[in-house]
A and B are shown apart, each in its own frame.
Chain A
Amino acid sequence: MSDASIQTNTDTGEAGFGDYFALLKPRVMSLVVFTALVGLLVAPVGVNPVVGLASILFIAVGGGASGALNMWWDADIDRKMRRTQSRPIPSGKVTEGEAFAIGMALSAMAVVMLGLAANLMAAALLAFTIFFYVVIYTMWLKRWTPQNIVIGGAAGAFPPMIGWAVATGGISIESVLMFALTFAWTPPHFWALALFTKGDYANAGVPMLTVTHGRRATRAHILGYSLVLAVVAIALGLTSIGGPVYLAVALILNGMFIKGAWDVFRRDDAASDADRHKAERGLFKLSLAYLFLHYGALLVEASLKPFGLGGWG
């Protein structure tokens, strides 16, 4: 090494617009938009399209703002994990103070505007979601318990409930079951990922289940949650927003998911290493399609209803 050190980051406090946008976790935001939109569209009450569009946008901004606050708080561990080192704060493009200010301002704006555009119930649910994700999950439980994924999943599961509340102004069994679907889906989805991205979380000191209880226990947890997930997914099919199309999709996908979880459960690490985590990668990929297709099937049921089809008649 010479005396002259090369500055590898661009810590100038001069972020481009893309860096600000990256703070809002666009990939998570796309899931939020999609599930909130389904929650809104499958509700039995129609919404003015402009009000609906504005509401989905404010839900997305609220979700993005909580992502920015999460990056502000987690900047220290994001610097240590390979997966997160290129995020705007660790890469030096956005300062921690900026991320905090953007997160707080957008949170307040999103909640107030959703209250004005839709109703107080939707705004209250959005405010609770942001509080839950930032304070309960990020600040409190993420670094404390290996069940962090389970609790964090709850925050990601609220959007369809908020979408439903935008239309109906309330909470019902249908919206609770949509919440439960994403909630029960999150742990097997992330633990499957954790089984083939070894080491990263351990380096950062985040108590992932694979680290604290071992990989054997994680495999068992994945199978357990897959069974709970199947019960929730099929129960949702028996409500007023379900129908034959949804139920057929749910039965097929849950059969595949339980089979995938069983394959992951049966294996040990030696077998997993031998084929470069084929079953674990397969289950993770399936989990991505799983959620998209379930919500997509709900949307199909809702779009068939005006033609006298869809639903349970």
Chain B
Amino acid sequence: MAIKVDHELHKRRLSRNIGVGVALILFVGLVYGLTVAKVSDIYQPDPAASEVSK
């Protein structure tokens, strides 16, 4: 029997590595999006305050 380079075990290992990698990238993207959303909430110009300054 020929030696198979890609044993089923390697496939599982690859799927695990890719899956965890993609999950981590998505997590980083989510935290970035969350930060942008939070910061823009805080720095939104308050219409009432700008009226007072006028």
Contact = CB atoms under 8 A, between A and B. Distances in A.
Interface of A: 12, 14-21, 48-51, 54, 57, 113, 116-117
A111 B25 CA distance: 20
A7 to B, nearest CB: 13
Interface of B: 9, 11-13, 15-16, 18-20, 30-31, 33-34, 36-38, 41
Contacts of B38: 51
A14 B37 contact: no
A141 B28 CA distance: 38
A14 B9 contact: yes
B9 to A, nearest CB: 5
Given A12-B9, A48-B41, A17 B34 contact: no
B34 A15 contact: no
A20 B30 contact: no
Given A51-B37, A51-B38, A57 B9 contact: no
Contact of A50 (B16, B20, B37): B37
A59 to B, nearest CB: 13
Would you call the interface of chain A mostly helix, strand, loop, or mixed?
helix
A52 B18 CA distance: 27
Nearest to B33: A50
Contact of A14 (B12, B34, B41): B12
A16 B17 CA distance: 8
Contacts of A117: 34
Given A48-B37, A50-B36, A51-B37, A16 B30 contact: no
A51 B34 contact: yes
Nearest to B14: A16
B9 A17 contact: no
B41 A20 contact: no
A51 B42 CA distance: 13
Contacts of A18: 15, 19
A17 B16 contact: yes
Contacts of A20: 16, 19-20
A64 to B, nearest CB: 12
Contact of B30 (A17, A21, A54): A54
A54 B38 CA distance: 12
A20 to B, nearest CB: 7
A116 B31 CA distance: 10
B35 to A, nearest CB: 9
